[in-house]
């Protein structure tokens, strides 16, 4: 029984290190190969990574980190663009926040329903922060 408990602790520590490494890789956003390798070995984590009491949505995390290349890769591998995080923010919201028109187009092409949800939410919370000359404003108008 003691050895089973020890093996379980080892497995948990391995998983924690693995998750920590992939999150660091995304944050630094320079190693797409490592991300591809990770999600090849752990395809069940493409939509959610549970780390202790935290939950990460990899697609949201790469978009927040402005790692557009990785976002397109995750979408290609089947990441769910419709998922909302704990704050009810979608991948489309994150793409608008970083002014990535191409990513917004891709996300909208997959789930057109996000546009109506996002535009109502965006009008209520964000439109006062945008100035007409910046790309964020153009993306906002695109979503309307």
Q: 22 and 89 share a domain?
A: no
What is the per-residue DSSP string for the chain?
-HHHHHHHHHHHHHHHHHHHHHHHHHHHT--HHHHHHHHHH-GGGSS-EEETTEEE-HHHHHHHTT-HHHHHHHHHTT--TT-B-TTS-BHHHHHHHTT-HHHHHHHHHH-THHHHHHHHHHHHHTGGG--TTSHHHHHHHHH-
Q: Which of 34-38, 61-65, 136-140 has the lowest mean pLDDT?
A: 136-140
Q: 90 and 106 share a domain?
A: yes
Domain count, the chain: 2
pLDDT tens digits, 75-108: 999 999 999 888 888 899 899 889 899 999 999 9
Domain interval for residue 89: 84-144
Q: 109 and 134 share a domain?
A: yes
Q: 64 and 107 share a domain?
A: no
The model's pTM: 0.71
Picking from 29, 55, 80, the residue at the C-terminal end of a domain is 80
pLDDT tens digits, 37-86: 888 888 888 998 887 777 889 999 899 989 999 999 999 999 999 998 88
Q: 16 and 63 share a domain?
A: yes
Res 32 pLDDT > 70: yes
Q: 89 and 76 share a domain?
A: no
Highest mean pLDDT among 2-6, 91-95, 123-127, 138-142: 91-95
Highest mean pLDDT among 1-5, 71-75, 107-111: 71-75
Q: 73 and 107 share a domain?
A: no
Q: 4 and 34 share a domain?
A: yes
Q: 65 and 123 share a domain?
A: no
């Amino acid at each position: 029984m003691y050895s089973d408990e020890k093996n379980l602790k080892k497995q948990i520590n391995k998983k924690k290190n693995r998750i920590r490494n992939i999150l660091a890789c995304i944050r630094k956003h320079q190693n797409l190969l490592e991300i591809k390798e990770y999600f090849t070995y752990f395809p069940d984590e493409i939509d959610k990574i549970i780390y202790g009491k935290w939950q990460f949505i990899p697609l949201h995390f790469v978009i927040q980190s402005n790692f557009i290349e990785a976002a397109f890769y995750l979408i290609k591998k089947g990441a769910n663009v419709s998922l909302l995080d704990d704050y009810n923010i979608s991948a489309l919201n994150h793409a608008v926040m970083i002014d990535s028109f191409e990513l917004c187009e891709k996300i909208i092409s997959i789930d057109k329903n996000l546009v109506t949800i996002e535009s109502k939410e965006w009008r209520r919370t964000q439109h006062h922060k945008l100035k007409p000359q910046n790309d964020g404003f153009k993306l906002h108008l695109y979503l309307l």
